[in-house]
Structures are given as structure tokens and as C-alpha cells.
Amino acid sequence: MCTNQPMVHCLSALIPLAAVGIALSVPTNLTPVQAAPSSCPTPMQGRYAVMGMGVQSGKTSNTPTAHVLEERWLSGGKLQGTLVERVGRSERQASYSGQARMSSACVLELERTLPWGRERSEVVLDGKGRPLYSINRNAGTVITSRWLPMAPGSCQAADLNGLVLSSQVGLSWRNGGWSPNAVLQREHWSNGSVKGLALASYSGMGETAGYSGQLKLDPSSCWGSLSERDALGVNYNYRALLVKGRSGARGYLYLQSDLDDLTAGWLVRD
């Protein structure tokens, strides 16, 4: 149970100890990074869905953060995207542009220009040039993200029809601090309507509840707003991004909009 404990302890399973200020023994005989092979994988142009979680450090405490992005990699290393982000109990969203550059170590360096500043990340690519994971390189942040390829085109609510499953962790604001939660979900979707079962743990207290909800997609988009209500009468609200596949959706990413709950999830369509 993390109630009334510093938020960083609630995320200790997710965040490296050095990043939250815990002293670590670092060897002094580290070997320099070897020069990159002459041929790095060529970054694959296309559209990607991205989900990340972590913390941003402040003067007196660390603040949990999470984001969902839809990003396009264009010719010439150009980036275009849309971001929805939670920083503690606030939410912000924006469209952005940016630039990608391959480093000598075959790591792709991204720089995004956002209304509130520049954001720098490094991405590891697979052998075909597809991004799998990234890490934020702005000072004072400990944020990692996972990437999923998206097929071209807009989405339809019916793309999610069928069974969807998820496992996720998040935080809830209770008694002036952040406490951990974990949730498993099993959902059945039909043309934008969902009925599901959530198996949850809030600060170590178990809860099981059915729920139902509705997804409303933005026009000509894969983004939408998801509203749900469980059998206990609690409402939940999310910004959702359908991860378009070649035959319907692969699933969807979501970021919770309720300011006292900070959860990002990848819900996988069976």
C-alpha cells in the first residue's frame, strides 16, 4: 500500500532507481560505446501510435505523467503528430512537428516542437527500421514509451468489434498523494458500444465491477472520446486512439481524462 507515501515509491517497479534520486554505485571503468556499423536500419516512414508513462521531476517532488501520441514519419526525417498528455492532475493536448536524425550508434533521435517547449527522445528500431521503444531525453524526466504501427486511413467504431483484453497500471489521487492501481479488463465491442468486466486493485484493495460505455470518434480520425460507467455508479472518461490494422483495429490506446486518476492503457483486440 502506497497511501500517504511519496509517489516515487508507487512507481518503483516501473522507474529506474537512479532516476528518482536513489544513489547507485557506478563503475568507473565503463567501456565507451562502439562506433556504429556502416549501415543502420532505415527508419520506416508511416504512422505510429505511441503510449508512454513516467515522471517529471520538480523542485520538491516528482510528478507522474503519461501520454498517447499519433505520429507520422515523413520523408526527409520530418515528423507530424498529435499528442494528449497528463502531467499530474492536469491535461494538455497539441498538434506538433519535428525532425528525426540517425545517430552514429544507430539510435534515432527525435526532436518535437510543442507549444510548451521542445521534447527530445531517442528511439530503438528493429531490423526493418520500425520503432519499438523510446526514452525521453529532456532533463528531469524519466519517461519510456512503446510504439505500434498503424495502417493508413481513418477509423470506424466498428473496427473494434469483438473481444478486447488489457492489463494496465496507473495512479489515483487520494488523501493528497498518488496511490497505485492495477486493472485487468475484458470487453465486448459492437459498433462503438462496449460492455466489460474490470478486475481492479486500488492501493491493495480488490474490486470487481461490470461496466458499459460508448466511443465517439472524431470526424475522419482514429481519435475519439470514450465514456464509461460501472455497476457501482462511477464514471470514467478517456481520450482513445484506435490502432488501425489491415483488417479492423488491432486494439486501442487510451489516456484517462479524470484528473484524480492517471492511467494509460493498451487494450488488445483478439
The Cα 143–Cα 223 span in angstroms is 23
Residues 65 and 119 in one domain: yes
Q: Kindly state whether residue 15 falls inside one of the protein's structural domains.
A: no
Read off the pLDDT of each residue in 58-66 and give the average, rounded to a whole number.
90
Q: What is the predicted pLDDT for the residue at 13? A: 40
| CA dihedral (3, 5, 7, 11) positive or negative | negative
Q: Kindly state whether residue 20 falls inside one of the protein's structural domains.
A: no
Residues 65 and 164 in one domain: no
The Cα 184–Cα 12 span in angstroms is 20
Q: Is residue 30 over pLDDT 50? A: no
Tell me the pTM: 0.86
Q: What is the predicted pLDDT for the residue at 3? A: 40
| pLDDT > 70 fraction of the chain, expressed in percent and rounded | 86
| CA dihedral (147, 151, 156, 160) positive or negative | negative
Q: Is residue 177 over pLDDT 50? A: yes
Residues 132 and 163 in one domain: no
Residues 78 and 164 in one domain: no
**Domain range for residue 129?**
45-150
Q: Kindly state whether residue 9 falls inside one of the protein's structural domains.
A: no
Residues 136 and 231 in one domain: no
Residues 192 and 244 in one domain: yes
Residue 160, classified by CB atoms within 10 Å of its CB into exposed (0-12), middle (13-18) or buried (19+), is buried
Residues 170 and 262 in one domain: yes
Q: Kindly state whether residue 71 falls inside one of the protein's structural domains.
A: yes
What is the domain count for the chain?
2
- Tell me the pLDDT of the chain averaged across its residues: 88
Residues 197 and 138 in one domain: no
Q: Kindly state whether residue 24 falls inside one of the protein's structural domains.
A: no
Residues 168 and 219 in one domain: yes
Q: Is residue 116 over pLDDT 80? A: yes
CATH of the domain at 58: 2.40.128
Residues 130 and 214 in one domain: no
Residues 99 and 187 in one domain: no
Residues 140 and 165 in one domain: no
The Cα 143–Cα 53 span in angstroms is 6
Residue where a domain stops, chosen among 150, 177, 207: 150
The Cα 85–Cα 141 span in angstroms is 14
Tell me the pLDDT tens digit for each residue of 146-172. 999 999 999 999 999 999 999 999 999
Instruction: Give the confidence band of 58 by pLDDT, cuts at 50, 70, 90.
Output: confident
The Cα 29–Cα 45 span in angstroms is 39
238 alpha-carbon distance from chain centroid? 13
Q: Kindly state whether residue 4 falls inside one of the protein's structural domains.
A: no
Tell me the pLDDT tens digit for each residue of 224-249. 999 999 999 999 999 999 999 988 89
Residue where a domain stops, chosen among 150, 179, 195: 150
Q: What is the predicted pLDDT for the residue at 31? A: 34
Q: Is residue 195 over pLDDT 80? A: yes
Instruction: Give the confidence band of 35 by pLDDT, cuts at 50, 70, 90.
Output: very low
Residue where a domain stops, chosen among 116, 150, 184: 150
Residue 87, classified by CB atoms within 10 Å of its CB into exposed (0-12), middle (13-18) or buried (19+), is middle
The Cα 8–Cα 246 span in angstroms is 40
- In terms of DSSP H, where are the helices of the chain? 7-10
Read off the pLDDT of each residue in 105-117 and give the average, rounded to a whole number.
97
Q: Kindly state whether residue 133 falls inside one of the protein's structural domains.
A: yes
The Cα 105–Cα 108 span in angstroms is 9
The CA-based angle 99-104-108, given to 5 degrees, is 35
Q: Kindly state whether residue 203 falls inside one of the protein's structural domains.
A: yes
| pLDDT > 90 fraction of the chain, expressed in percent and rounded | 81
Task: Choose between 144 and 25: higher pLDDT.
Answer: 144
Instruction: Spell out the residues 6+ positions from residue 178 whose beta carbon is closer than 8 angstroms to its own.
Output: 2, 7, 10, 64, 171, 172, 262
Q: Is residue 221 over pLDDT 90? A: yes
